[in-house]
Structure 1
Amino acid sequence: MSPLDRKLLRDLWRIKGQAVAIGAVIGVGVLMLVMMTGLVTSLDETRKTYYERYRLADIFAPVTRAPDRLIAGLAAIPGVSAAEGRVVGSALIDLPGLDLPLQARAVSLPDFGEPRLNDVYLSAGRRLDSDRANEILLLQGFAKAHGLEPGDTLSATMHGARRTFRIVGLARSPEFLYTTPPGELAPDDSRFGVIWMSRTALSAAYDMDGAFNQALISIGRNAEEAAVLDAVDRLLDANGGLGAYGLEDHESNRFISEEIDGLRAMSTGVPPIFLAVAAFLLYIVVSRMVQSEREQIGLMKAFGYTNAEVGAHYFKLILAIAVGGALAGCLAGIAAGRALIGVYLEYFKFPFLVFQLDPASFVIGFGVSVLAASAGGLIVLRGVFALTPATAMRPPAPQDYSRSGRIGRSFNKLLDQPSRMVLRRLTRQPGRMAGAVIGIAAGMALSVGMISILSGFDRTIDLAFSVVDRSDVTVTFTEVMSDKTVLELQRMPGVIEVEPVRVVPAILRNGLNTYRGAINGLVREPRLNRAVDKDLATIVMRQEGVILASALADILDITPGESLTVDVREGRQPVLNIPVIGIAETLLGSPAFMELEALNRALREPSRVSGAYLRVDAAHSEGIYRKLKDMPTVAGVSLKADARLAFQKLMDTGAGAMRYIMAAIAAIITFGVVYNSARIAYAERARDLASLRVIGFTRGETAFVLLGELAVVTLLALPLGSILGYFLSFGIAAGFSTDLYQIPAVFTPESYGMAVLAVVLAAITSGWLVKRDIDRADMIIALKTGE
């Protein structure tokens, strides 16, 4: 081993605390990269495999009622490789001990053989016997939530008739990886299920003998999906076609895509932040080490070592820390990815999900770590090359503190000797102090940003379920009903208030921008479920146009005053051109709102509703639920309390859970930055501090000289970190927001207080660790000149 390599090992051991802290920062960035890219690869590859293995359709075509003979016409469309018709419908499941009916979707399977498209994965029991009309397969997640097993019986209301079924198997399906109750955005296994029945049995239940109400279509690789969609719509239009749509608009697939895209965005946006902080810390450490080792550098050059050899020595130091941190990050990323993959397996109902590593993430992680570290190190190495042996071996000129001026003399009268030392250090080396302030401020900015996001998630839930939605129960009808149905709800004992609503599925278009959603018809001055503005004031529904959620307006790239094309996908299916008259600040989904009467008038269907919001007396709730269960026109009943719990669970798992991981990482980064600043300052002044002890300063006074500097730097960093955190919060909030929910950047005194407390605690802990080293320092060794 060469002398320079032995010196390298000694240097690493001497700065082991700083090296570990910087390596941890690098490791965190690589951890996030490996973990997130691995999760993206695992979810994406598993989704593709699952879709292909169980033949998930590329196109879904709902229709009111179409004869089976049209399937041959669909299969003959150019580009179509397979087509199949089936029957689907809504159902209400009645379980013993539950007053509230549970919503379900009934789906038919062929009487004989496996379906050509949208097959199911049988996880328990057996497949259906077509000769037994009462046999069903049940979605495994729903069955598990209620303790149901093959052999159990189940009662359900279908098309107004109560039926009893026998569960013969539990199933999963690529079509129902993400299952939500109608009208809600968050999945809830306990409140929504899927029932599979034989085609003959389900056709009889929904009066669909010889007909289908949904076509499944698979297309070839070279087929143009848009052309196939147009051809399908033309063929089914005469039979009440409701608008064919591709897999990208399928609810389950869309939410999984949102999750994958969110993870992909975080994997590219978050790690560089940590690696940039690490590069900055390495720059400070190595630059100050070079300054403190001027004489050693001069001696090495005097002994004949070239600039390249001396520079390589310090560059190896940088690489050792960077590679060590990257390696630890890779190993930790693998462990974290494997731990989280179980969460996604449960969350998305995959029958199989194995954490797959992305080899590129290791290459990128190591490459970016080394490049980020080298970027800071190369700047320092320029100074190494510039030093000649004679210059390097001559100590740097001491600082001149004689010209302190009138202000300095005034402070000298007020401050004791240790305090004046702290002040001189801060004022005579502003560059180094500024670097320390910026480093700590960057750490605090991360804490401010992540704590603000934690508050943002809570704010989203609170606003959505307390301010916007002030109802207790949401009732959905089996079909569009006369508004007289609302009177039946109002007459129920215990119902305090009823507010009708009509939800009309539609494709919204503005030029080339489209969104498959719905128009929500609200009463003129809604009270139970409102559209609100930025000030959270109720928006009065005006009759002359449509009001869009801010997220939807961004998707469609449209502003108030422009005209929106609304392609209605129910009833007569008119195409409307409606002016946009306002923007609403909704945090859940991307809805559009119209005044109820104006919407019915535009559709030429006066006095029609599709559901209602209820405010009820809790003392009468059980009786209300029982009556709703017995109403044949009711397709579903949803409690706001249950929806809120489901959404809270959604935000605490999956990508939403990443906010807790990132908050913990931000705290680690903050401590690492503060601790490095303290250690660097101690390394620079170890000889000076030992000198103070020799001339009579106590341990407390000596520590004050160093820790007072750390305290001032930390205090100066707090306001700068608050400002940086404010702007960083908006970027992080945008990264977490999706079409499903929008996360605001929430700034509260509590969030800033917690961030300040995190920095102060990090400073106190770092100060205590450094003071312990000061107290243990050997003054004789510290006073020796390193040669």
Structure 2
Amino acid sequence: MVSPLDHKLLRDLWRMKGQATAIGAVIAVGVLMLVMMTGLTASLSETRDAYYDRYRLADVFVPVARAPERLASRLAEIPGVSAVETRVEGRALIDLPGQVLPVQAQAVSLPDRGRPSLNDVFLTAGRMPASGRPDEILLLQSFAFAHGLRPGDTLRATMNGARRGFDIVGLAQSPEFLYTTAPGELVPDDARFGVIWMGRSGLAAAYDMAGAFNEALIGLSPEASEDAVLAAVDRLLEPYGGAGAYGLADQFSNRFVSEEISGLEAAAVGVPPIFLAVAAFLLYIVISRMVQSEREEIGLMKAFGYTNTEVGAHYFKLILAIAVGGALAGCLGGIAAGRALIGVYTAYFKFPFLVFQLDPASFVTGVTVSILSASAGGLFVLRRVFALTPATAMRAPAPPNFSRTGRIGHSLNRFLDQPSRMVLRRLTRQPGRMAGSIIGIASGMALSVAMITIYAGFDRTIDLTFSVVDRSDVTVSFTHPVSDKTLFELVRLPGVERAEPVRNVSVVLRHGLESHRGVLIGLPDRPELNRALDADMAPIALPERGVVLSDVLAEMLGVAPGDMLSMDVREGRQPLLQIPVAGTAQTLLGSPAYMDMEALNRTLREPGRVSGAYLTIDEAQADAIYAALQDMPTVAGVSLKSQARDAFVRLMNQGAGAIRYVMGAIAFIITFGIVYNAARIALAERSRDLASLRVIGFSKGEAAFVLLGELAVVTVIALPVGAALGYYLSFGIAAGFSTDLYQIPAVFDPVSYGQATLVVLGAALVSGGLVKRELDHADLIEALKTRE
């Protein structure tokens, strides 16, 4: 049987359905974000691990110049090694119809018979290459889709200087190539880099590797020590040009996929709690003021004999109904949003399968925080109301005396009409309540400022990377370090306006227990086309001795200017160097390390060597330049900055970067919910007073002015407070979005603050309009009654 108090609970929920819905929406969006983001990170991590395990991704990768096949058995004898797969791999250039610029690719061998024991491929269309058919290949599915290729088509590619024709017999995916970029680049682009798989004997013949291999893949047993295996492998292959074995953590694709997942995980850990904390604080304010408005009903229930415990349980049920309803809606919304985003991540990470998995902890956290915050607000006020006797509680509070407005208002009385004095009186005589409304709206403003600033931060990352740091048009990479005299050949090409050399050296940087496998970039004296910049975006003069690290890399390694770095060079003579850190540079893409090119070559005892060049060109002669570059035997690849920029934009609009749009929408919902709740609560608290004003002769507009004037003043005061809070909040959210691949700065952009202000003012106008419409249609007699 339903008790009278439960009947009252249902009536109250129906009566305040608009306000309850607004409160529930604030709770729901905070929980939605928590459930969605934690679910996505759990799903991506589980899918990655399952994909790696199912297709046997190697634990150790061993590049080598040329080693005899007989060494495979000796690699297998190393303690801790459970499987060994040798193969041939090399660079290739793919000629596509209608494209002047060849597309870079990586050619990888498959066993002539059977499937590879490590780094197997997932066949998505067609069949595997037949044994004894060196002209049959598999093509990376994402590259094939980007160019409309399918099984049955033919393809022409240049391998080791020889141009050959191939038959595409199948499309494939691989855990080794989830994240694919052209050599020397960081940004993936399916259209600009492909992977070709073909039989071992055919590829060995193309690269003069008969009876030899230039890469070994190693699987480790569970009890193996990776460091010990790496050291043993390097000792064995050093005489054969071993370039240094490395573990799965440093494998290019896995490293960046893991960074993206880690970035999303960091955002999931750091950002939703900010939204949820704001929602919890607002909920506390809203619930406390809502319960305060129920003062007379509480007194009446106590007069009828209900105990404080029974009355408290009644209102606690009301709070729970709103909080649990909002939390459950947020959980369901989080599941739906997570499932909707799974398709985006499947395409972005190139997983052949991806199932959204829920994190039970996110449900517990979201629901618990929602209930506790709602309960705290209600119980705090109930404790004060319970201290009143039934007769006192049943009596309506004495109407405010608007004839006195305090010292501030007294000086303004002669300039203000009666409704304006009422607004001023309310603000000055109830500062605590007004402060709560101001902080609530300011919190919503802060969320909007932070998210719009993040949008500007993403744009700034693109502009600085491709307009300030890199000012070239074309990047040329060579097959191997060549003489700097090659630069003169580039400059002599018709249409090339400027050519600037660069030397890229594969290194492992170590400091203490920290290490980083990457590329040391050698720049010429006073570079113009690709520069190292400081925090003020001013060029850094590279010293004759020492290395300049990006600030992200310096933080990763835990070094500061003046510290010594151990530099293990992974090419040429492979020296082990001790280099001082000369300074840090501001970079927003990647984690580069810079060094003066002449000093770098001198240190490596390879004077006058370059790895590539940055060019500025005359666009009118671009096709002729690309054709000339394609015919140069030392050119391994050509990259256009415009294409790299477009790829980077796509990168940041997918994956973890796409979440910023969802968060921006959630910030708007929370902002609107805050302002609307403030207006609704003010109406609920002052409905009797406003009805009294109407009865004594005030017009609808004058009565609405008393209510909406308060909302306007509170909103205006909240704007600068919210702007200040948003400035500091931006740094926390920007840090959550930044990864080792790209960094998002928190920039002070007046446009962002202006847009956030418009969001808050728009929410205030819409909320004010909704409340005014309700006030205009209010039943004056009903409003003046005491509810029982």
Q: TM-score, normalised by structure 1?
A: 0.98
Q: Within the alignment, does 1:473 sit opposite 2:474 as a pair?
A: yes
Deviations 1:419-442 (A, max 9, x none): 000000000000000000000000
Aligned with 1:747: secondary structure? coil
Deviations 1:282-340 (A, max 9, x none): 32233223322222212212222111111111111111111111111122112111111
* Regions of 4+ moved over 4 Å: 397-407
Deviations 1:134-165 (A, max 9, x none): 11111011111111111211111111111111
Q: What is residue 368 of structure 1 aligned with on the other side? A: 369
Give 1:613's aligned amino acid. Y
Give 1:579's aligned amino acid. P
Deviations 1:476-517 (A, max 9, x none): 111111111111111111110000101001001111111111
| Contact 1:282–1:377 (CA under 8 A) maintained in structure 2 | no
Quickly say closer, same or farther: Cα 1:718–1:62, change in 2 above 3 A. same
Q: What is residue 508 of structure 2 aligned with on the other side? A: 507
The worse-fitting range, judged by mean Cα deviation, of 307-316 and 757-766 is 307-316
Deviations 1:356-391 (A, max 9, x none): 223333333322322232233332332244333244
Quickly say closer, same or farther: Cα 1:365–1:282, change in 2 above 3 A. closer
Query: Within 2, Cα distance between the matches of 1:583 and 1:17?
Result: 55
Give the alignment of 1:442-453 within 5 angstroms. 442-453=443-454
Q: What is residue 261 of structure 2 aligned with on the other side? A: 260
Q: What is residue 674 of structure 1 aligned with on the other side? A: 675
Q: What is residue 560 of structure 2 aligned with on the other side? A: 559
Q: Within the alignment, does 1:285 sit opposite 2:286 as a pair?
A: yes
Give the alignment of 1:80-119 within 5 angstroms. 80-119=81-120
Deviations 1:616-673 (A, max 9, x none): 1101110010111111111111000000000000001111011111111111111110
Query: Within 1, Cα distance between the matches of 2:395 and 2:702?
Result: 31
The worse-fitting range, judged by mean Cα deviation, of 118-127 and 234-243 is 234-243
Q: What is residue 318 of structure 2 aligned with on the other side? A: 317
Q: What is residue 39 of structure 1 aligned with on the other side? A: 40
Deviations 1:112-152 (A, max 9, x none): 11111001011111111221111111101111111111121
Give the alignment of 1:74-85 within 5 angstroms. 74-85=75-86
Q: Within the alignment, does 1:225 sit opposite 2:226 as a pair?
A: yes
Unpaired stretches in structure 1, ≥5 consecutive residues: none
Q: Within the alignment, does 1:381 sit opposite 2:418 as a pair?
A: no
Give the alignment of 1:58-207 within 5 angstroms. 58-207=59-208
Query: Within 1, Cα distance between the matches of 2:33 and 2:260?
Result: 16
Deviation at 1:4, TM superposition (A): 1.1
| Contact 1:122–1:170 (CA under 8 A) maintained in structure 2 | yes
Deviation at 1:407, TM superposition (A): 4.4
| Contact 1:25–1:274 (CA under 8 A) maintained in structure 2 | no
Q: What is residue 693 of structure 2 aligned with on the other side? A: 692
Give 1:194's aligned amino acid. V
Quickly say closer, same or farther: Cα 1:599–1:664, change in 2 above 3 A. same
Aligned with 1:552: secondary structure? helix
| Contact 1:509–1:565 (CA under 8 A) maintained in structure 2 | yes
Query: Within 2, Cα distance between the matches of 1:605 and 1:163?
Result: 34
Give 1:727's aligned amino acid. Y
Q: What is residue 18 of structure 1 aligned with on the other side? A: 19
Q: Within the alignment, does 1:297 sit opposite 2:298 as a pair?
A: yes
Deviation at 1:281, TM superposition (A): 2.9
Q: What is residue 683 of structure 1 aligned with on the other side? A: 684
Deviations 1:2-47 (A, max 9, x none): 1111111122122212211111111111211221122112211111
Q: What is residue 642 of structure 2 aligned with on the other side? A: 641
Quickly say closer, same or farther: Cα 1:265–1:86, change in 2 above 3 A. same
| Contact 2:462–2:645 (CA under 8 A) maintained in structure 1 | yes
Query: Within 1, Cα distance between the matches of 2:281 and 2:500?
Result: 58
| Contact 1:281–1:676 (CA under 8 A) maintained in structure 2 | no
Aligned with 2:183: secondary structure? coil
Q: What is residue 518 of structure 1 aligned with on the other side? A: 519
Deviations 1:565-589 (A, max 9, x none): 1111101111111111111101100
Q: Within the alignment, does 1:216 sit opposite 2:217 as a pair?
A: yes
The worse-fitting range, judged by mean Cα deviation, of 702-711 and 16-25 is 16-25
The worse-fitting range, judged by mean Cα deviation, of 688-697 and 29-38 is 29-38
Give 1:424's aligned amino acid. R
Quickly say closer, same or farther: Cα 1:171–1:290, change in 2 above 3 A. closer
Give 2:685's aligned amino acid. E
Q: Within the alignment, does 1:588 sit opposite 2:597 as a pair?
A: no
Deviation at 1:277, TM superposition (A): 2.7
Query: Within 1, Cα distance between the matches of 2:577 and 2:375?
Result: 60
Q: What is residue 549 of structure 2 aligned with on the other side? A: 548
Query: Within 1, Cα distance between the matches of 2:736 and 2:269?
Result: 11
The worse-fitting range, judged by mean Cα deviation, of 29-38 and 574-583 is 29-38
Query: Within 1, Cα distance between the matches of 2:345 and 2:288?
Result: 45
Query: Within 2, Cα distance between the matches of 1:326 and 1:180?
Result: 42
Aligned with 2:278: secondary structure? helix
| CA root-mean-square deviation | 1.4
Aligned with 1:270: secondary structure? helix
Quickly say closer, same or farther: Cα 1:686–1:778, change in 2 above 3 A. same
Query: Within 2, Cα distance between the matches of 1:294 and 1:743?
Result: 49
Same amino acid, percent of matched pairs = 73
Give the alignment of 1:395-434 within 5 angstroms. 395-399=396-400, 404=405, 407-434=408-435
| Contact 1:503–1:518 (CA under 8 A) maintained in structure 2 | yes
Query: Within 2, Cα distance between the matches of 1:689 and 1:582?
Result: 66
The worse-fitting range, judged by mean Cα deviation, of 241-250 and 263-272 is 263-272
Q: Within the alignment, does 1:626 sit opposite 2:627 as a pair?
A: yes
The worse-fitting range, judged by mean Cα deviation, of 237-246 and 469-478 is 237-246
Aligned with 2:155: secondary structure? strand
The worse-fitting range, judged by mean Cα deviation, of 191-200 and 161-170 is 161-170
| Contact 2:560–2:581 (CA under 8 A) maintained in structure 1 | yes
Quickly say closer, same or farther: Cα 1:301–1:398, change in 2 above 3 A. same
| Contact 1:278–1:373 (CA under 8 A) maintained in structure 2 | no
Query: Within 2, Cα distance between the matches of 1:534 and 1:274?
Result: 30
Give 1:330's aligned amino acid. C
Aligned with 2:86: secondary structure? strand
Query: Within 2, Cα distance between the matches of 1:380 and 1:184?
Result: 60
Give 2:502's aligned amino acid. V
Aligned with 2:340: secondary structure? helix
| Contact 1:283–1:380 (CA under 8 A) maintained in structure 2 | no
Quickly say closer, same or farther: Cα 1:74–1:385, change in 2 above 3 A. farther
Give 1:66's aligned amino acid. A
Unpaired stretches in structure 2, ≥5 consecutive residues: none
